[in-house]
Amino acid sequence: MWADRRVLDLLGIELPILQAPMAGANGAAMAIAVSQAGGLGALPCAMLDGERIRAEMGTIRQQTAKPVNMNFFCHTPAPPDAARTAAWQAALAPYYGELGVDPGAAAPAPARAPFDDVLCAIVEDVRPAVVSFHFGLPAPDLLGRVKRAGCTVLASATTVAEARWLEDHGCDAVIAQGAEAGGHRAMFLATDVTAQPGTFALVPQVADAVRVPVIAAGGIADGRGIAAALALGAAAVQVGTAYLFTPEATVSALHRRALADARDDATAMTNLFSGRPARGIVNRLMRELGPMADVAPAFPTAGAALAPLKAKAEAAGDSGFSSLWAGQAAGLGRMTGAAELTRQLAADAAARLKALAGG
Amino acid sequence: MWADRRVLDLLGIELPILQAPMAGANGAAMAIAVSQAGGLGALPCAMLDGERIRAEMGTIRQQTAKPVNMNFFCHTPAPPDAARTAAWQAALAPYYGELGVDPGAAAPAPARAPFDDVLCAIVEDVRPAVVSFHFGLPAPDLLGRVKRAGCTVLASATTVAEARWLEDHGCDAVIAQGAEAGGHRAMFLATDVTAQPGTFALVPQVADAVRVPVIAAGGIADGRGIAAALALGAAAVQVGTAYLFTPEATVSALHRRALADARDDATAMTNLFSGRPARGIVNRLMRELGPMADVAPAFPTAGAALAPLKAKAEAAGDSGFSSLWAGQAAGLGRMTGAAELTRQLAADAAARLKALAGG
């Protein structure tokens, strides 16, 4: 059925569909459903502690023997910067006042930890078929341990230069993340958001530049998108936003409602919620401060000052201070189970390719 | 060969490839070559006066009986604004000083005229098979005259809302211009550049929203891109940047050199050169003022103050003040004749579709 089997054979999967690991938005249930359906399910580990990662992977292991992807961030955490934090809180002061929120109030803030020795030891214990990284790759000694544990290594590139770097540093396949993609840009060499290429331009240029297979990501939410990605030279796709519509997604009701209403022009890249550029549905904070603002402190610290605003607003049914991650193809999303979605995407893509060639 | 014949039949062409009209970058020669090869050649009329348009169309008529597209802008020119012009000249003052240029020096500045009664009369005389518009559509009486002259009408949309509007106002097919595209964004309802969708997300959502056929544009520069656009639901493609590499392109040697060097992440959207957002290769002016700057006056007046800088710099082999329009797929461009390129693109797309289905 699939003309290019490189990713299928590399990862040991049946369908050329990887579920994008979405930190905070999916756990074991989605990974199990996608892997059981023949795609590659993923557990995003960046916002989980070691104990929780072991527990989720234990659940996955009980439910499926199929390959699964463990995903980690590998940013270098910025040192605390009291001046920038103060400037950020000052920028948010009108909102604290309006919502009657104490800036110092305890509220659950997202913790995003980079891949380290402790997490690597878990990988060595669990030995997942696949480990993927965002924001580059970990230090060579850690990467070597992951590879010696028998894991296939993937990572995301937002430019041709990043794809070449990942290949040179040992990635077994490269995820080409076009600008349409929801959530955090993988940018680790690139610094200029305005120059980030879209999926249409990125995928063929990456495919020409590297020898490892390319997995296309960004704006792919139905069978047409998968067929198109394969036409561009990708050997598989990574799909995120479409899976946010499944019952397995662990997103809030507010996020789910925003996704259901999102049109093609509803999203923008923003650094307000974490300090790094990420695509989300435009809401009040993004509109009023501008989606990319120098005042937001470095990743991953920007979210802490927003946490009490988010908590208070969400309690009142207001998502104006929440990160509503979504890609530009959210308008194509439909409510379906994650397993059914995986099978449907593959069947639609295959049918589309057949129809196009048969004319 | 082509499964979806709607655009082929509508326009009377053999290959699903429209050459993008590129004001200032192509004239009769490219239009003739593309139309003779079986695609739809285009004469961009926005920067030509009536006499020149009649002469170019006369040349085209002598060389081909195939369908050709006459393209016009339909913006509303901004009234003169002395204060904004002064602010813009003030922002450029350091450059005038550095280059030793008199801000008031006469230099050829781009004139961009909107479609009007005079241009419409030319269309009624020439009766091209196709007329396409950028920045929306002309007033209903003018559009009615174009349609009564027997011309098929196309226009570009950058969002689903714009595509719906164009269909509602009488467009026979809609060009879905993704954010990857080079040159001016067609935006006429949309105002926020940061929310502009990429080709991958835009095309299927437009295809779902309108009944008229969709022509995909943006990031399409080889057979893979055409196959992908058809997979997404487009019935044809419009290709611009790839034609800038042909000898028929009337671009400067400096622009040609910048195109040859352009990588995937070399471009950004900028309003500095005309006052409207357009994608071009990042150069000194874009880097130093920021690609999108509030200080640039309204379209199409921004270029006048730059003209003497551009002239002086270009004479010294420096393209730092020139608009270097290009899309994000410039890296895929190859030097070939426009007719040969048209045939090659179609053959490669057909082969790609066949290979994908045959696996």
DSSP for A310-323, please give it. Answer: HHHHHHTT--TTS-
Q: How far apart are CA B329 and CA B242, in angstroms?
A: 8
Specify whether A45 is located in the same domain as A83.
Answer: no
Residues B121 and B51 in one domain: yes
Q: What is the pLDDT of residue B111?
A: 80
d(CA B105, CA B88) in angstroms, rounded, equals 16
Instruction: Report if residue B63 sits inside a domain.
Output: yes
| Distance, CA of B343 to CA of B209 (rounded, Å) | 31
> Tokens representing A359?
């004319």
Q: What is the largest CA-CA distance in chain A?
A: 64
Q: Are residues A271 and A310 in the same domain?
A: yes
| Residue B261 resides in a domain | no
pLDDT of residue B43: 98
Instruction: Kindly state the average pLDDT of the residues A184-206.
Output: 97
**Which of A263, A331, A352 minimises the CB distance to B231?**
A352
**Residue B348 resides in a domain:** yes
Q: Quick one: DSSP state of residue A158?
A: S
Looking at residue A136, its pLDDT comes to 98
User: Quick check: A294 pLDDT over 60?
Assistant: yes
The answer on A271 and A346 residing in a single domain is no
- Closest residue on chain A to B330 (Cα): A201
> How many Cβ atoms sit within 10 Å of the Cβ of residue A140?
10
CA distance B123 to chain A (A): 34
Q: B8, B264, B269, B292: which to substitute to probe chain A, counting the most A Cβ within 10 Å?
A: B264
Do residues B224 and B272 both lie within one domain? no
Do residue B171 and residue B236 come from a single domain? yes
CB pairs under 8 A between A and B: 198
- Which tens digit of pLDDT belongs to each residue from A170-194? 999 999 999 999 999 999 999 999 9
pLDDT interval class at A35 (50, 70, 90)? very high
C-alpha A160/C-alpha A189 separation (Å) is 10
**Cα dihedral A336, A339, A340, A341 sign:** positive
Considering the domain architecture, whether residues B57 and B85 belong to the same structural domain is answered as no
Q: How confident is the model at residue A255 (pLDDT cuts 50, 70, 90)?
A: very high
**Strand ranges of the sheet holding A278-281, from the earlier edge strand across to the other edge:** A183-184, A278-281, A267-270
**Within a domain: B260:** no
ipTM, interface predicted TM-score of the complex: 0.97
Question: Looking at CA atoms only, how far is residue B197 from chain A in angstroms?
Answer: 6
CA atoms within 13 A on the CB side of A341: 31
Residues of chain A with pLDDT > 90: what percent? Answer: 92
**How would residue A67 be classed by pLDDT, with cut points 50, 70 and 90?**
very high
* Owner of token pair 């104006």: A320
Q: CA of A333: which chain B residue's CA is closest?
A: B205
Instruction: Provide the CATH number for the domain around residue B67.
Output: 3.20.20.70
> In the block, which residue shows the tokens 């499926």?
A64
A246 occurs within a structural domain: yes
Q: How far is A11 from chain B (nearest CA, A)?
A: 19
Q: Report the distance separating Cα A128 and Cα A41, nearest Å.
A: 11
Average pLDDT over residues A263-273: 98
A108 burial via Cβ count (<10 Å: 0-12, 13-18, 19+)? exposed
Which tokens hold the place of B64?
A: 């081909």
Judgement on whether residues B143 and B280 belong to the same structural domain of the protein: no
Rounded Cα distance between A117 and A205, Å, is 35
Contact B200 A218 (CB under 8 A): yes
Contact A205 B329 (CB under 8 A): yes
Query: Under a CB-based contact definition with an 8 Å cutoff, are residues A114 and A73 in contact?
Result: yes
Query: How large is the average pLDDT for residues A79-103?
Result: 93
Q: What angle do CA B197, B201, B205 make, to 5 degrees?
A: 105
The answer to whether residues B210 and B273 belong to one domain is no
Strands A278-281 and A267-270: antiparallel
Partner-chain residue, chosen from B198, B266, B353, that has the shortest CB–CB distance to A356: B353
- In tens, the pLDDT along A102-146 reads 987 767 777 888 999 999 999 999 999 999 999 999 999 999 999
Burial class (CB in 10 A: 0-12, 13-18, 19+), B76: exposed
Q: Return left, alpha or beta for A69; rule: phi > 0 is left, psi -120 to 50 is alpha, else beta.
A: beta
Q: Look at residue A300 in the predicted model and tell me its pLDDT.
A: 87
pLDDT per residue rounded down to tens, chain B (359 residues): 899 999 999 999 999 999 999 999 999 999 999 999 999 999 999 999 999 999 999 999 999 999 999 999 999 988 889 999 999 999 999 999 999 999 877 677 778 889 999 999 999 999 999 999 999 999 999 999 999 999 999 999 999 999 999 999 999 999 999 999 999 999 999 999 999 999 999 999 999 999 999 999 999 999 999 999 999 999 999 999 999 999 999 999 999 999 999 999 999 999 999 999 999 999 999 999 999 999 999 998 888 899 999 999 999 999 999 999 999 999 999 999 999 999 999 999 999 999 998 75
A23 and A121 co-located in one domain: yes
B96, two tokens? 């005038």
pLDDT at B349: 97
Domain that holds residue B244: 6-75+112-249+334-357
- Per the structure, the count of domains in chain A is 2
If asked whether residues A281 and A235 sit together in one domain, one would say: no
Q: Are strands B68-73 and B41-44 parallel, antiparallel or unpaired?
A: parallel
Q: Which of A200, A268, A331 is closest, CB to CB, to B218?
A: A200
Write out the H or E segment, with its range, that includes residue A341: helix A338-357
- Alpha helices by DSSP H, listed for chain B, are 6-11, 28-37, 50-63, 82-99, 117-126, 140-148, 160-168, 199-209, 223-232, 241-244, 253-261, 284-289, 302-315, 338-357
Give the pLDDT of residue B112. Answer: 87
* Contact (CB<8Å) B200/A222: no
pLDDT at A78: 86
| Residue A323 confidence (pLDDT) | 97
Is B100 part of any domain? yes
Q: Judging by DSSP bridges, how do beta strands B267-270 and B214-217 pair with one another?
A: unpaired
Report if residue B1 sits inside a domain: no
Look at the block and give the residue holding tokens 């509508």. B10
Q: Which residue of A has its CA nearest to B270?
A: A194
Q: Please state, as a whole number, how many other Cβ atoms lie within 10 Å of the Cβ of residue A127.
A: 13
Residue A120 within a domain: yes
A chain contacts of residue B353, beta-carbon cutoff 8 Å: 231, 353, 356-357
Both B281 and B173 in one domain: the answer is no
Mean pLDDT of chain A: 96
